[in-house]
Structure 1
Amino acid sequence: MPKKVIAVLATLDTKGQEAEFLREQLAALGSRALLVDIGVMNAPATRADLSRAQVARAGGTPLATLQSGKSREAAQPVMAAGATALLLKRIAKGEVHGVIGLGGLQGTSACTAVMRALPYGLPKVMVSTVASGDTSSYVGISDITMMFSVGDILGLNVFMRKVLANAAGAAHGMAQVKVGLKTARARGAKPLIGISNLGVLTRGTMLAIELFRKRGYESIVFHAVGTGGRAMELMMKQGIIGAVFDYAMGEISDELFHGLRAGGKERLSVAGPLGLPQVLCPGGSEHLGILVSTPHQLPERWKDHAHVWHNEVVLAPRLNVKELRMVAREIGKRLQGTTGNAVLMIPKLGTGSYAMPGGPLNDPKGDAAYFTALKAALPASIEVIERDLHAEDPAFVEEAVDRLIALIEAQRSRTRSGRR
């Protein structure tokens, strides 16, 4: 079996000794280290395989320029961009099979910036002094494994050697795993289907998963609370997801009204330009998710709105007609790049369990105004289907699944015909 190559990201002026120890440990396990120096200021304490000069040049700025600035903060984005560019080339050629990062605050920020730009599935182990706190800004929507170093990464000792040896073992072991990620573009393969979900749609999502499975399709579900939608769309870009049941759109509402589920400015605009089959539903978009500081204390801003408490600190206020029309226009704007291969299904009896008949946020007149605005905002390329059902009704979900599979099969048929 050929040796696996594990890139080691570190500032070799301050962490050269530790990086060299990782090289030795990886070699003992049967892998080979590729030391990438992302340091700038002081002389490296060990030999790099990709020097800081190479990294800086790949990042677009000569090393001498970075050194004359005498600021690690200014140099960090350049070095992160350079390391990313160099590693992506090697990964594409099959020359790098995993990454280990070493860092404190700045080093963790730089290393994880690189890791977040690397493909899903590639082993990523970040040994960090800050891994025991809130790591959300470092991990983002990537599959980074954060490993707390406990002590500062400044010199070797009996404890730090064990931590680093464990990191080497983790990355080496992950790189040996034979289970891989099949891309949606694999010839003849049925695509992996991405499903967005919220708690108010879980019963419908579970049914959809089962229906797809019975038809021979695997699906992956994303909790549409901001990170979920962004991760789903990144997997579309990387070719992992090849079709979409975008069942939950609360991330758009929260983006407009500063809720905790905000999905970012790109949300809902990725599948269309990629030409992916998609069935859309405005699930959960009639309400927001608002985090409050005091349990069950209703903010002044939402006192004139119908509402329900999702839990003691998450308020779900229903949007009024004016606000819903704003959401409709925003959804339409984000879908302008969808020029076909898409269906929007409108559940006229409610977009989730809160809004269905008998639900705490049920408002048929508000729904009707919302759906009218939504239809007016969509590009003509998206087929609209309205049903007198709520979003979790089995008949609604079954039709959504059937229509998405029909779109997928039509696309696969066109692809096969084009190859003849």
Structure 2
Amino acid sequence: MKTVYVVGTCDTKGVELRYLRDCIRNAGCRVVLVDASVSELQIDAQDVDVQSAEVARFHPDLPKSEELKDRGKAVATMSQALVEFIRSRHDVDGIIGAGGSGGTALIAPAMRALPIGTPKVLVSTVASGNVAPYVGPTDISMMYSVTDVSGLNRISRVVLANAAYSIAGMVLNKVDAAGDDRPAIGLTMFGVTTPCVQAVVRTLEKSFDCLVFHATGTGGQSFEKLADSGLLAGGIDVTTTEVCDYLVGGVFPCTADRFGAFARTGLPYVGSCGALDMVNFGGMETVPSKFRDRRLHVHNPQVTLMRTTPDECNRIGEWIGERLNLCDGPVRFLIPELGISAIDAPGQPFHDAEADGALFSALERTLRRTDKRQLSRVPFHINDPQFAELLVANFQEVLS
């Protein structure tokens, strides 16, 4: 029988959580009700499968009880403990939670810790706003509670029942991601590197399930989340542009852990400088005043691009090189000398040989080359067919 974990703070949301549990049982699933309450960690909640005190014991360094009187610290502590608890379980076919802002912040990290493809539903009072901090690079389904998660009424019964039956439906009808016999590989793409990535995919798609990620910050995190989850055979990281936004201050930044999944897993990695010539902002009116005198290009009414300077490119190249130096698995990094995006070419708005030269020199200077870790400069533009062919050849080499 498939098992769904119902998670929340039973001290304040017990009625709603038990309602979710009963609906899911009625749908034909086994249910484990987990109490993640922070107010009374040592007091057993009635009719609960996993008590809060048991969850708390999974914290690697549980603070003293007097420290937990601060609610913010208590929520952070229980959230970390819940992550470790969920990771320790091997029967989580799906997970559902419900809560307000505090409960959402407490529960979401445990959901993010589960592999992509494990059904995850979070009923929340904050689900109609910006959910990026909760969802991150994962496949959490967030449902707005409409009324507060505070007892059962004619609205909450319907919303919670819909959530319960949706998680049951996902669990009972789960599609096996391994149904495709081809190994999966991840690729990163932006509009300005699309010809390159499409050419690579056309060449490899008969042998590989090619998963293309839009390099919008979250896209890169999803790319690496799949690598960490063991769902990729390797990566062709054509478009590393999120590093620009991280270091300079754009709206599509990576995190400090960019390239970390490949360092941890040793998966075969082929990368390039795709769109490292640009930092992303929203509409022109959103560009910070300190950047208004820079070279700007309106990509569309919602996206304004800013050309990276030689100094910024130097920092970007050093940062990428230092991160790739942490990778012990096979690494190939290709530098397209004739341009790194569709608008970085002679006659195009972001053509800047000095900035590109600073980037290339920083990469060459910083990356420590070994038998496994190599860097090559090639006389092509990133969207030239020959460059795509080289990416494919290098990927086939690191797989062998």
Please say whether Structure 1 and Structure 2 have the same fold, judged by a TM-score greater than 0.5. Answer: yes
**Structure 2 match to 1:279:** 270
Q: 2:137 aligns with which of 131, 138, 141?
A: 141
CA distance in 1, matches of 2:12, 2:378: 63
**Structure 1 match to 2:252:** 261
Alignment gaps of 5+ in structure 1: 411-420
The structure-2 alpha-carbon separation of the partners of 1:155 and 1:294, relative to structure 1 and needing over 3 Å to count, comes to: same
Q: 1:118 aligns with which of 114, 120, 141?
A: 114
Matched, 1:13 2:4: no
**Structure 2 match to 1:71:** 70
Q: 1:358 aligns with which of 319, 326, 347?
A: 347
**Structure 2 match to 1:54:** 54
Superposition pairs of residues 221-370 of structure 1, within 5 angstroms: 221-291=212-282, 294=285, 299-303=289-293, 305-339=294-328, 341-370=330-359
CA distance in 1, matches of 2:214, 2:22: 41
CA distance in 1, matches of 2:38, 2:279: 45
Equivalent residue letter for 1:387: V
Q: 1:39 aligns with which of 37, 40, 43?
A: 37
CA distance in 2, matches of 1:44, 1:89: 21
CA shift, 1:50, in A, is 0.2
User: Matched residues, percent identical?
Assistant: 34
Q: Is the 8 A contact 1:23 1:32 kept in 2?
A: no
Q: Is the 8 A contact 1:302 1:317 kept in 2?
A: no
**Structure 2 match to 1:197:** 189
Q: Is the 8 A contact 1:66 1:75 kept in 2?
A: no
Deviates more, 1:150-159 or 1:106-115: 150-159
**Structure 2 match to 1:169:** 165
**Structure 2 match to 1:416:** none
CA shift, 1:283, in A, is 0.7
The structure-2 alpha-carbon separation of the partners of 1:206 and 1:110, relative to structure 1 and needing over 3 Å to count, comes to: same
**Superposition RMSD on alpha carbons, in Å?**
2.4
The superposition leaves residues 309-365 of structure 1 with CA deviations (integer Å, 9 ceiling, x where unpaired) of: 223353322222222222211111111123452211111110010102332111234
Equivalent residue letter for 1:48: V
The structure-2 alpha-carbon separation of the partners of 1:357 and 1:126, relative to structure 1 and needing over 3 Å to count, comes to: same
- SS for the counterpart of 1:289 is strand
The superposition leaves residues 164-185 of structure 1 with CA deviations (integer Å, 9 ceiling, x where unpaired) of: 221111111111234223499x
- SS for the counterpart of 1:235 is helix
**Structure 1 match to 2:202:** 210
**Structure 1 match to 2:362:** 373
CA shift, 1:385, in A, is 2.7
Alignment gaps of 5+ in structure 2: none
- SS for the counterpart of 2:213 is strand
The structure-2 alpha-carbon separation of the partners of 1:66 and 1:48, relative to structure 1 and needing over 3 Å to count, comes to: farther
Q: Is the 8 A contact 1:36 1:83 kept in 2?
A: no
CA shift, 1:292, in A, is 5.9
The superposition leaves residues 188-219 of structure 1 with CA deviations (integer Å, 9 ceiling, x where unpaired) of: x75311111112111222222222113x1111
CA distance in 1, matches of 2:311, 2:151: 61
Q: Is the 8 A contact 1:98 1:175 kept in 2?
A: yes
**Structure 2 match to 1:413:** none
The structure-2 alpha-carbon separation of the partners of 1:378 and 1:156, relative to structure 1 and needing over 3 Å to count, comes to: same
Q: Is the 8 A contact 2:146 2:155 kept in 1?
A: no
CA distance in 1, matches of 2:324, 2:396: 21
CA distance in 2, matches of 1:277, 1:68: 45
Q: Is the 8 A contact 1:11 1:40 kept in 2?
A: yes
CA distance in 2, matches of 1:332, 1:302: 30
CA distance in 1, matches of 2:255, 2:391: 25
CA distance in 1, matches of 2:341, 2:129: 35
CA shift, 1:142, in A, is 1.5
- SS for the counterpart of 2:285 is coil
CA shift, 1:66, in A, is 4.1
The structure-2 alpha-carbon separation of the partners of 1:13 and 1:370, relative to structure 1 and needing over 3 Å to count, comes to: closer
CA shift, 1:127, in A, is 0.8
CA distance in 2, matches of 1:361, 1:190: 38
Equivalent residue letter for 1:164: L
CA shift, 1:78, in A, is 2.0
